[in-house]
A and B are shown apart, each in its own frame.
Chain A
Amino acid sequence: MFKQSFPDVLEAFWFDVRMFVVVEVVVLVLGLAVALVRTTTAPALFPVRLLALGYVDVFRGIPTLLLVYLIGFGIPALELSGLPTSAVVLGGAALALSYGAYVSEVYRAGIVSVHRGQRDAARAIGLTEGQALRHVILPQAVRRVGPPLLNDFISLQKDIVLISVLGVAGEAFRVAQIDAASDFNYTPLIAAAICFLAITIPLARIVDRLSVGTGGVAR
């Protein structure tokens, strides 16, 4: 049974991996943009900061599964022209919005953890705010939040299965589920679990190593 189902599940898992990579890239960019907005201090940017805060509060507050349902079924139901209706795109967007909110907070924690003296020193040598951010603040911030960022990677990698509720064909969990349901044998689900572990365990070891390097607790 395992031998039979494994190739199907593995092929479907390859779809999951590609999906993960695309969503992760969007998450990293979105999260950073939101974090940068939230760490600004200029009074003129208050409305944008408020918007970013609202985004984080809302999307971090809604269970990811519920968000996948809301966006995956809700957007097509609006029947507005110009909006995507593909379950893959909408499911991916839902995951990106949800994880973008989490990751923005991770970035923000890193940015505010960089000592104020670093920004002062960067400005004192004549850098603009943007250059100070690019060359001094962000490199230090990102290094510090490597482990928690990778943690969110692992979590996202697993949560890709949530888009199966939208009926996305070819998703690993979905394929395994259908295989399993056809003859009440759960071996295909084990095959899917193994696929996930093959990615998440190495990632976890990388997190450990990074945590040690940055004085974290893991070993």
Chain B
Amino acid sequence: MSAAPVLRVSGVTKAFGEREVLRGVDLEVPEHRAVAVIGASGSGKSTLLRCADLLEEIDDGDIFLDGEVITDPMVDTVAVRRRLGLVFQAYNLFPHMNVIDNVMLGSVRAHGIERDEAERRARELLGRFGLEGRERDRPDDLSGGQQQRVAIVRAIAGSPRALLLDEITSALDPELVGEVLEAVRELKQEGMTMLIVTHEMSFAREVADEVCFLHDGRILERGPPAKVLESPERPETQQFLRRLLTAGRL
């Protein structure tokens, strides 16, 4: 192992009241790598991402960003979030702002970039993800796929060390999934470090360097996509993949 992983999750537990959602999760995302987390609904996948972005407080364990612990109570959570990007399942664009303001808000307010420079960069990024000419549109006027691409651009506008993707295609009509996955493929090629929670197994197989199967708050199996998705060892993984297969999602 050369350098420290960009993101490291170590023994993380998280409960909502009596319900234990994460029961000791360990995970590493090395630089320029993509790690996909798969698992059934309610297995704790989204909670894991929210904890990594410090939107939820963890109960135990540690999370490290570039080797530095970020889950210590003394850490400035805002400063940490500025070093990470998170894309939500439901896009969560700001409906009262047009596309370019959605993208620029973080650059200007959180990163202190000059408006002109922020706008130049936002335009460039929007153009790169096929959103040229939509800068002044409201999110409501865009298709789901376009909205999610804006959300991706918004998340990477602050040049994050790692990008967290939370089931970013689950809310999309099937014919719009492709364009969003294409955007992620492009990011991967550029070397973006990513932690991806997904239901798209074919996508996990194609983009991820490692797949982790999360079951009941624990990672039961991990390894290269070909191995985990095609010849899983654990009966829980086999059952999960079988269910996806019968649902036509594999």
Interface residues of A (CB under 8 A from B): 115, 117-118, 120-128, 131, 135-136, 139-140, 143
Cross-chain contact of A123 among B81, B85, B96 (Cβ < 8 A): B81
Range class of the B interface residue count:
20 to 34
B55 in contact (CB, < 8 A): yes
Q: Does the CB pair A124–B78 fall under 8 Å?
A: no
Q: Which residues of chain B (59-96) have a CB below 8 Å from chain A? A: 78, 81-82, 84-86, 88, 90, 92-96
Q: Tell me which residues across on chain A come within 8 A of B105, comparing CB atoms.
A: 125, 127, 135-136
User: Shortest CB–CB separation between residue A124 and chain B, in angstroms?
Assistant: 4
Q: Nearest chain-A residue to B110 (Cβ)?
A: A126
Given A127-B106, A136-B94, also A120-B154 (CB < 8 A):
no
Q: Does the CB pair B90–A126 fall under 8 Å?
A: no
User: Shortest CB–CB separation between residue B134 and chain A, in angstroms?
Assistant: 19
Q: Tell me which residues across on chain B come within 8 A of A127, comparing CB atoms.
A: 78, 105-106, 109-110
- A–B Cβ pairs within 8 angstroms, 21 of them: A117-B88, A118-B94, A121-B92, A121-B94, A123-B55, A123-B78, A124-B85, A124-B155, A125-B105, A125-B106, A125-B157, A125-B158, A126-B106, A126-B110, A126-B158, A127-B105, A127-B109, A135-B105, A135-B109, A136-B105, A140-B95
B111 in contact (CB, < 8 A): yes
Q: Does the CB pair B110–A120 fall under 8 Å?
A: no
Closest 9 CB pairs of A and B: A126-B110, A125-B106, A126-B82, A121-B92, A117-B92, A124-B86, A126-B81, A139-B96, A128-B78
Q: Tell me which residues across on chain A come within 8 A of B50, comparing CB atoms.
A: 120
In the bound complex, CA of A125 to CA of B101 (Å): 13
In the bound complex, CA of A125 to CA of B157 (Å): 9
Q: Nearest chain-A residue to B77 (Cβ)?
A: A123
Q: Nearest chain-B residue to A136 (Cβ)?
A: B94
Q: Does the CB pair A124–B53 fall under 8 Å?
A: yes
In the bound complex, CA of A135 to CA of B90 (Å): 20
Q: Tell me which residues across on chain B come within 8 A of A121, comparing CB atoms.
A: 88, 92-94
In the bound complex, CA of A135 to CA of B50 (Å): 22
Q: Tell me which residues across on chain A come within 8 A of B95, comparing CB atoms.
A: 140
User: Shortest CB–CB separation between residue A157 and chain B, in angstroms?
Assistant: 28
Q: Tell me which residues across on chain A come within 8 A of B96, comparing CB atoms.
A: 139-140, 143
Q: Does the CB pair B55–A124 fall under 8 Å?
A: yes
Q: Does the CB pair B110–A125 fall under 8 Å?
A: yes
Which of A118, A122, A126, A135 has the most chain B CB atoms closer than 10 A to its own CB? A126
Q: Does the CB pair B155–A125 fall under 8 Å?
A: yes
In the bound complex, CA of A118 to CA of B95 (Å): 9
In the bound complex, CA of A140 to CA of B92 (Å): 13
Given A135-B109, A143-B96, also A125-B154 (CB < 8 A):
yes
Q: Tell me which residues across on chain A come within 8 A of B90, comparing CB atoms.
A: 117
Q: Does the CB pair B88–A131 fall under 8 Å?
A: no
Q: Does the CB pair B78–A126 fall under 8 Å?
A: yes
